[in-house]
Structures are given as structure tokens and as C-alpha cells.
Amino acid sequence: MSDFFEKVYDVVKQIPPGRVTTYGAIAKYLGTTGSARMVGWAMNAAGSHSEFVPAHRVVNRNGLLTGKHHFDTPNAMKELLEAEGFEFEEDQIINFKERFWDPAKELA
């Protein structure tokens, strides 16, 4: 596992229940703006990490569940977020901006 993936997991493990962040916000926080896709790859591999990584709390910049197909079932990501109080229109989080957790501000 790469050091980059470990850094991503360290950030994701700090996202509190009921909040979400984006691939790009994590990349920017880590000083690697433009590597949002690599953050996505890290989320795809999160299930094999030795500790729980709440990958369901990482969405795209519009609050869409673009990573849902990497979970055990097609609805798992949405169900995990619904259990944390999220509501959706299709696969987009309602009130995304109010639920957004910015690591640059929260971990400063």
C-alpha cells in the first residue's frame, strides 16, 4: 500500500458521522491538488485496509455517489449514508453544502 493511500485513509478516518467530503478536498488538503482520481483509487482499495475506513463518506464535488459501484452491493454506500441521516434525490445528497466537511478547515 502506498504512503499516499495511507495519508488518504488517515484523513477519511477523521470524517465524522453525518458529514461527507470530496475526493478533490482530500487531494487539496494533502497538497496534491489534481490527484482526486488517486484519492478515488484509494477509496476503491479501502475495503482491504486493516482498519475501517469510512469510504462511504467520500463523494464527488457535486455530492453524487460516484463510488457506489465499488461497494459490496450497488446500494450499500447510499444505505450507510442514510443510516447517518442523509437524504437523496436520485444519487445526489440533498443539502450537500451543509453536510460538507472540509479537511483544510477541520484539520487545520
Q: Which residue, 29, 31, 41, is CA-closest to 107?
A: 29
DSSP structure class, residue 33: T
* Residue-wise pLDDT tens digits, 1-38: 689 999 999 999 999 999 999 999 999 999 999 999 99
Domain ranges of the chain: 3-106
Q: What is the CATH number of domain 3-106?
A: 1.10.10.10
User: Average pLDDT of the chain?
Assistant: 96
Chain centroid, CA 88 distance in Å = 16
Whole-structure pTM value: 0.95
